[in-house]
Amino acid sequence: MNQQPFKPPVQALVPDFHSQHAQFPRAFALIAKAIAERAFPGASLAVTLGHRLLAWKSFGRFTYDAESPAVSPTTIYDIASLTKVIATTSMAMILFDLGKLDLEMPVTHVLPQFESSTDPRRERVTVRMLLAHSSGVPAYERLFERAASRADLIELALAQPLVSDPGSHAEYSDIGFILLGLLLEHIADETIDLFCERKIFSPLGMSSTSFLPSTILKRTIPPTVNDTTFRMRLVQGEVHDENASVMGGVSGHAGLFASSMDIATFALAMLHEGANVVRPETIHLFTQRERLPDLTSRALGWDTPSEPSQSGHYFSPGSFGHLGYTGTSLWCDPERKLSITFLTNRVWPDCSSQAIKLARPALHDAIIEELGLS
């Protein structure tokens, strides 16, 4: 049924942002205003249309301290749950193309530890359900409080009781993507970080993207939190998510670091025939909204615009995207061949600010309006 991925030549983004200040004055002003109102201390933005990079702009600083380093367009951020689509879902797509991944396969066929003698429903959980966040596993659990090691946390994740019948409704789940990452690693016989570097990041030229930034790079990454309750240190250049931290920084749900340019490059591949990553048909399959459960906005790994949506009002119904807890997002519109990458560390210094929830959709709307695409 599946074939080797079709691999057209990689087409690079064409820089065309020399007039970005004239093109996007309102969008840039919205970001500056959000920084002044402490929605986030800094940000990096990339806007692509077709093969053109129309905006590539940095704003603010690493923290609210006036002496803090300024963000540059090449600044690398902890992209949190964008890991789920850029790494984990892409790994699933590649394995699907290679004929190694069956979306309807029960999870227990690969992870027998997921079985339970007291809950036969677990045998009905499929790979598709993990991707579509409809597996019935919990949304989130503070497993790190009970796990002293990666092995401990994996054991706890595999044993989490179902909170709903498999396939009955969609609930966004970190635990589900921890399990999905493990399942994909078993099928590939390779860790997710090494697989993605070899099959995704390197072929696309995403040179700043990795799960474990080098010691030298860590100082150039905006901090996310001064952790006074768990790690008892400043978290900078290491994954913000505590469960991913206990897993050594490599997990299916979080852990990836990247620049806005690298994510825009990834978006280009997703919007233009899957260059050197996956077949166009597979991208379409994974990015179209699932029919079940009823009322879900989820595709396979990806999310789609809903009402209200962090994508704003103008992305077409066939669009796909994802958010990251740290204040990151990527939205892609295949109808317009448009992508908007927006990276921040809105969690600094303590995760309390929710102002990005208003700033982000307004930014997306402003960009599309200023492009004349509304």
Is residue 149 predicted with pLDDT exceeding 90? yes
Dump pLDDT digits (tens) for 152-184.
999 999 999 999 999 999 999 999 999 999 999
Is residue 141 predicted with pLDDT exceeding 70? yes
- Name the pLDDT band for 117 (thresholds 50, 70, 90): confident
Q: Rounded to the nearest 5°, which phi and psi values hold at 316?
A: -70, 160
Dump pLDDT digits (tens) for 220-254.
999 999 999 999 999 999 999 999 999 999 999 99
Q: How many CB atoms lie within 10 A of CB 116?
A: 15
What is the pLDDT, as a whole number, of residue 11? 67
What is the pLDDT, as a whole number, of residue 273? 81
Strand pairing of 42-49 and 338-344? Answer: antiparallel
Task: Name the residue with tokens 């986030």.
Answer: 40
Dump pLDDT digits (tens) for 49-107.
999 999 999 999 999 999 999 999 999 999 999 999 999 999 999 999 999 999 999 99
Q: What is the mean pLDDT of residues 349-366?
A: 96
What is the pLDDT, as a whole number, of residue 185? 98
Is residue 189 predicted with pLDDT exceeding 80? yes
What is the pLDDT, as a whole number, of residue 357? 97
* Cβ atoms of residues 370 and 22 within 8 Å: no
The three-state (H, E, C) secondary structure of 245-299, written as one string: HHCCCCCCCCCCEEEHHHHHHHHHHHHCCCCCCCCHHHHHHHHCCCCCCCCCCEC
What is the pLDDT, as a whole number, of residue 275? 72
Q: What is the mean pLDDT of residues 128-151?
A: 98
Query: Mean pLDDT, the chain, as a whole number?
Result: 95
- CATH number assigned to the domain with residue range 14-84+207-370, chosen from the 4 options 3.40.710.10, 3.90.700.10, 3.40.640.10, 3.10.250.10: 3.40.710.10
Q: What is the mean pLDDT of residues 106-128?
A: 96
Is residue 2 predicted with pLDDT exceeding 80? no
Is residue 276 predicted with pLDDT exceeding 70? yes
Q: Name which residue leads in pLDDT, 4 or 344.
A: 344
* Alpha carbons 315 and 89: distance in angstroms, whole number: 21
Q: How many CB atoms lie within 10 A of CB 2?
A: 15
Domain ranges (residues) in the chain: 14-84+207-370, 89-188
What is the pLDDT, as a whole number, of residue 63? 98
Q: What is the mean pLDDT of residues 340-350?
A: 97
